[in-house]
Amino acid sequence: GAGVSQSPSNKVTEKGKDVELRCDPISGHTALYWYRQSLGQGLEFLIYFQGNSAPDKSGLPSDRFSAERTGGSVSTLTIQRTQQEDSAVYLCASSSHGTATYEQYFGPGTRLTVT
Amino acid sequence: AQSVSQHNHHVILSEAASLELGCNYSYGGTVNLFWYVQYPGQHLQLLLKYFSGDPLVKGIKGFEAEFIKSKFSFNLRKPSVQWSDTAEYFCAVNLNSGGYQKVTFGIGTKLQVIP
């Protein structure tokens, strides 16, 4: 079956502009995660959605970052007024609560470059 | 807050050498432990995981990891590495707390295997 998909694969934007990154999780997966991968920083947790529960936003670095998940499926990560330090690869992952294995399936990521 | 420490950020080995990558976590409760791998140009994928039972777990491609509860460690090992093991390796932990699936990742270890 299809894996996690993300779009766009690459995004170049000017400082100060807003960007939207999209994630399509595996069908039926109730949990969805956003991470940021920067050189030398490893994998930084941003936000976690679990079913209909309120999302865990504890990893969002500033109020310029927000995310939503519509209909328990597709998720959009929005970064407002982008800064150069926002340049990174943004990864989305999903997992199935039903199997209780908690294995995360990752998408290919969106490489964001802020000029 | 839970945290994960990976001690080696960059490891260079010759083929056939033995590998051990360190991972320690900071949470004292019941945890699930993972190692993920990211081969060059590919998605992050699960290498192995520990939930309960035998603390020595086997993963794909000859990798294994041992959970030592008293040391809060989950080190990754392979007796004889190959050039194809060149990749970045991430240790991860989540709380074994029912439906809550937030996962914390370590900073990653880049392994370079020289032919």
> Taking residues A65-74, what's their average pLDDT?
91
Quick check: A45 and B101 CB within 8 A? Answer: no
Domains in chain A, number: 1
Q: CB of B104 within 8 Å of any CB in chain A?
A: yes
Q: Is B47 left (phi over 0), alpha (psi -120 to 50) or beta?
A: alpha
pLDDT in tens, A19-62: 999 999 999 888 899 999 987 777 899 999 988 888 989 899 99
Classify residue A68: in a domain, yes or no: yes
Residues B90/B28, Cβ–Cβ less than 8 Å: no
How far off is chain A from B79, nearest CA to CA, in Å?
25
Across the interface, of A42, A56, A97, the residue whose CB is closest to B102 is A56
The overall average pLDDT reported for chain A is 91
Classify residue A27: in a domain, yes or no: yes
CB count in 10 Å sphere of residue B88: 20
Superfamily for domain range B4-114: Immunoglobulins (2.60.40.10)
Residue keyed to tokens 């007796």: B79
CATH number of the domain that A61 lies in?
A: 2.60.40.10
Nearest Cα to Cα of residue A61 among A42, A40, A39, A35: A35
Tell me the residues of A at the B interface, defined by beta carbons under 8 Å apart.
3, 31, 33, 35, 40-43, 45, 48, 50-51, 56, 91, 93, 95, 97, 101-104, 106-109
pLDDT in tens, B97-109: 656 667 889 999 9
Q: Where are the domains of chain B?
A: 4-114
Residue of B36, B44, B57, B90 to mutate when probing chain A, most A C-beta within 10 A: B44
Q: Residue A40 is part of which domain span?
A: 17-99
Quick check: A103 and B49 CB within 8 A? Answer: yes
CB count in 10 Å sphere of residue B63: 21
Secondary structure letter of residue A18 according to DSSP = -
Given this model, what pLDDT does residue B103 score?
Answer: 84
